[in-house]
Structure 1
Amino acid sequence: MSKSGGVALARRIGRRVEALGRRARKSHRVAFVALAVVQLVIAIASHAWMTLVPTSFLIIPLVVGGVLLRFGELVALTGITAALGSFIVLSRGLTSPRVGFVLVLVIVGWIMIASAKVRSRLGVAGTRSESMLMELRDTLTAQGELPKLPAGWRVEVAIRSAGGSSFSGDFVVSTVHDDVLEVALVDVSGKGIDAGTRALLLSGAFGGLLGVVPEEDFLPSANRYIRRQDWDDDFATVVHVAMDLRSGEFDVRTAGHPPAIQFDAWSGRWQTRDADGPLLGLMEAPEFAPNSGQLKPGDALFLYSDGMVETPRRDIGRGTDRLAGHAERLVAQGFQGGAAELVAAAGGPGDDSAIVIIHRMAHPLS
């Protein structure tokens, strides 16, 4: 595209954005005027036919305004509502129930205003802030979608947030390039919603690094990115595997994360793949040594977060043995559906839990 064409496109986009902004502002004004008129009609009807139109109907448009209006418009609507309610009460004489109703009206308005003030800090009005949160959650979920693998391979992932929240401090990013599967399971400090915003930020950054930088540079690059954020006490742990889908050879690197465990189908044994490395974000130039191995047909490799193996009453070593014991029961079914089962069986209720299972099937057609 030529420079003049790019400028023209930018101008068209700018005009479109301005038009959308004007339309949004206009729609808010229309909603405010409509709700104010409704309040006035309710007040007049209630004053004339008290038994048919209770004054408490004034609360309904106020709550609707709390959902639809911007902060300033909601303050104005609350003032109008309080004034109309006070007028009706004064016209009928002051009694304790009527004064109590005006007080309830003011309290409801204050609650609506407080909620709108929080949304106004985001620069959005009405339900758009909730929509943005849902879109962010969906983005984080989409980052963890696993790529399609060739015949003979299966990979599963399951993540459960602490407290049942939609946001989790654990997330997965993955890619396939040149017959190499790269998967990184990341655990951000904190849990649930508190860690969800940082997880979203890092999932985009780490997803962009994965498969672009050489596999040995992924963790150092991720560490430099976190260092640039200048977070005070926040850090992340990562387990990263690069798996050759032709030979089954792999390298595992960890950054302050529990080690991967491998199931050997030939011997029926479980082997811990230790690859010690420091937490991301704490050191300027850490080194991450790989632990190399190979998945033969029937073998499986497990990546998991500390929520799967560690509790205040159980250390990681015992937790890893317990996880392997649960996974042993899944061997007969070829580990199919095993990720969800293991999170449900071994995941700690007070922490985010996540697991990834990479299985090289002994019978690809099964």
Structure 2
Amino acid sequence: MTDAAIDYAAVFQAMPGMVALLTPQLVFADTNEEFLRMAGRSREQVVGRYLFDVFPDNPNDPHADGMRNLAASLRRVLETGERDAMALQRYDVESAEQSGEWEERYWSPVNTAVLGPDGEAVLLVHRVEEVTELIRARGGSDGSRTRVLEADLYARAKELQEVNERLRQAHAREREVALALQQALLPAPTPVGHHRVAVRYQPAVDALNVCGDWYDLVDLPGEQLGVAVGDVVGHGLAAACVMGQLRSALSAASRVADGPAQALEVLGLYARSVAGAETTTAVSTLIDWASGSITYSSAGHPPPALVRADEVEFLDAATDPPLGARPEHVRRPQARTEFADGDTLVLYTDGLIERRGEDIDAGLARLAGSLADHRGAEPEALADAVLAELLAPGGTTDDTALVIVRL
């Protein structure tokens, strides 16, 4: 059977479990029949209405927290795009027959995002297992056993929630320490000689996904400037430490190496002795104003963009695997291109262009379009425009470094 022959609306309605579709504003877009049956609601009472207007917390229970827990889960899914399976929830429901009477219910929800072409959530799939009858059945005919089992399950669910909250707080503290360390290790975004340069670092919204990216600018003799960016695979405080070591090593190598390729070769050899540096990506460039040229080499990193008067060119003629990807040392490739006065060189990390479930070419095309639209802007304004257009308003799940140099 082909996709065209499948009536997916009918499939959705016939699904045996409770499933609802929510907008990012948490308004019911649709539900299947089982959801309505188990919730004791009609379609008119649900579709088009705000989730927590339909299912508020029991006002008679001062400890009710189902609404708060569900709202937090849905926010996480919207922010990260990741599936979130919740712990067992007690979430009482007002009787459809008798206003003011609340039925004790137990739910096991799973929330998933449906992503649009831009990688942002356009719908939320809210799937619920109604386990009230299962809990009661486990108690048999003995009502006390039922109450004990219910209380035990509910207590365990609360314990899991408390553990998750402690982990969240610990991750938040680690994020603060890692960001502080990274800010101390990265060079300050101050003018480099007389060159017009803009740098940006945008941390990830997820506490676990920060501090793997770096940038570096090295003023060299003879009207030359070394510019590099890199991305450590790991995250958090450990990644910030590795990032600091690799950035410093590449900065030192760039001052004495015979070009970017040799600098990356030295960095690759050094990375073998640094735990957590495996498969780090980096790109190193050397801008020479005297000859009007850019020499570059990449270790598995997205290609720099050269914004010319009539096109945006990606410098991808010297790309090699990430650091430490080969078991033996091999010379890295190097390429050279010329530039004209007024051109702009842009280096960045993958957080700027990559989106979950999307081919990287789409992200590169999006970047090229933004750079072309703002090619006449000064580096500071260009950096702000690119970040505003390519990053989601609420932030991304990967950190982003961006360096822009007016040539």
Q: Which TM-score band applies after superposition, normalised by the shorter structure? A: 0.5 to 0.7
Amino acid at match of 2:200: A
Q: For the structure 1 residues 339 and 321, does the alpha-carbon distance in structure 2 shift closer, same or farther, using more than 3 Å as the test?
A: same
Match of 2:334 among 268, 273, 290: 290
Structure 2 Cα separation of the partners of residues 214 and 307 of structure 1: 30
Once the two structures are superposed, residues 52-89 of structure 1 have per-residue CA deviations (whole angstroms, 9 ceiling, x without a partner) of xxxxxxxxxxxxxxxxxxxxxxxxxxxxxxxxxxxxxx
Residue 254 of structure 1 aligns to a residue in which SS?
strand
Match of 2:302 among 235, 258, 261: 258
Which structure is higher in strand share?
2
1:325 shift after superposition: 1.0
Match of 2:197 among 155, 162, 174: 155
Identity rate, percent: 27
Structure 2 Cα separation of the partners of residues 294 and 243 of structure 1: 10
Once the two structures are superposed, residues 257-283 of structure 1 have per-residue CA deviations (whole angstroms, 9 ceiling, x without a partner) of 011121111xx1111210211100222
Residue in 2 aligned with 1:307? 351
Map of 1:134-173 to 2, 5 A cutoff?
136-141=181-186, 143=187, 145=189, 148-150=192-194, 153-163=195-205, 168-173=211-216
Any stretches of 5+ residues in structure 1 without a counterpart? 1-113, 119-128, 361-366
Note if contact 2:177-2:237 (Cα within 8 Å) is conserved in structure 1.
no
Structure 2 Cα separation of the partners of residues 237 and 344 of structure 1: 25
1:146 shift after superposition: 5.4
Residue in 1 aligned with 2:376? 332
Q: Which has the higher contact order (CA 8 A, sep 6+)?
A: 1
1:131 shift after superposition: 11
1:335 shift after superposition: 4.0
Which structure is higher in helix share?
1
Residue in 2 aligned with 1:207? 251
Once the two structures are superposed, residues 246-267 of structure 1 have per-residue CA deviations (whole angstroms, 9 ceiling, x without a partner) of 23211111000011121111xx
Q: For the structure 1 residues 131 and 309, does the alpha-carbon distance in structure 2 shift closer, same or farther, using more than 3 Å as the test?
A: closer
- Correspondence 1:351 to 2:393: no
Note if contact 2:304-2:348 (Cα within 8 Å) is conserved in structure 1.
yes
Structure 2 Cα separation of the partners of residues 260 and 132 of structure 1: 30
Map of 1:173-192 to 2, 5 A cutoff?
173-178=216-221, 179-192=223-236
Residue in 1 aligned with 2:264? 219
Note if contact 1:309-1:319 (Cα within 8 Å) is conserved in structure 2.
yes
1:137 shift after superposition: 3.4
Once the two structures are superposed, residues 289-319 of structure 1 have per-residue CA deviations (whole angstroms, 9 ceiling, x without a partner) of 1221122012111111111111122222111
Residue 278 of structure 2 aligns to a residue in which SS?
coil
Once the two structures are superposed, residues 135-156 of structure 1 have per-residue CA deviations (whole angstroms, 9 ceiling, x without a partner) of 6333223x35455233xx4221
Amino acid at match of 1:321: A
- Correspondence 1:276 to 2:310: no
- Correspondence 1:318 to 2:362: yes
1:353 shift after superposition: 1.2
Structure 2 Cα separation of the partners of residues 202 and 138 of structure 1: 15
Higher Cα radius of gyration: 1
1:236 shift after superposition: 0.8
Amino acid at match of 2:390: A
- With the length of structure 1 as denominator, give the TM-score of the two structures: 0.56
Any stretches of 5+ residues in structure 2 without a counterpart? 1-165
Residue 333 of structure 1 aligns to a residue in which SS?
coil
Once the two structures are superposed, residues 15-63 of structure 1 have per-residue CA deviations (whole angstroms, 9 ceiling, x without a partner) of xxxxxxxxxxxxxxxxxxxxxxxxxxxxxxxxxxxxxxxxxxxxxxxxx
Structure 2 Cα separation of the partners of residues 286 and 317 of structure 1: 28
Aligned length: 231
Amino acid at match of 1:322: R
- With the length of structure 2 as denominator, give the TM-score of the two structures: 0.51
1:211 shift after superposition: 1.3
Structure 2 Cα separation of the partners of residues 193 and 282 of structure 1: 23
Residue in 1 aligned with 2:133? none
Match of 2:280 among 222, 229, 236: 236
1:339 shift after superposition: 1.7
Residue 210 of structure 1 aligns to a residue in which SS?
helix
Note if contact 2:305-2:312 (Cα within 8 Å) is conserved in structure 1.
yes
Once the two structures are superposed, residues 212-251 of structure 1 have per-residue CA deviations (whole angstroms, 9 ceiling, x without a partner) of 32224100000001012254x8321011100002232111
Q: For the structure 1 residues 132 and 261, does the alpha-carbon distance in structure 2 shift closer, same or farther, using more than 3 Å as the test?
A: closer
Structure 2 Cα separation of the partners of residues 190 and 355 of structure 1: 19
Structure 2 Cα separation of the partners of residues 173 and 167 of structure 1: 18
Structure 2 Cα separation of the partners of residues 206 and 355 of structure 1: 17
CA RMSD in angstroms comes to 3.1
Amino acid at match of 1:228: S
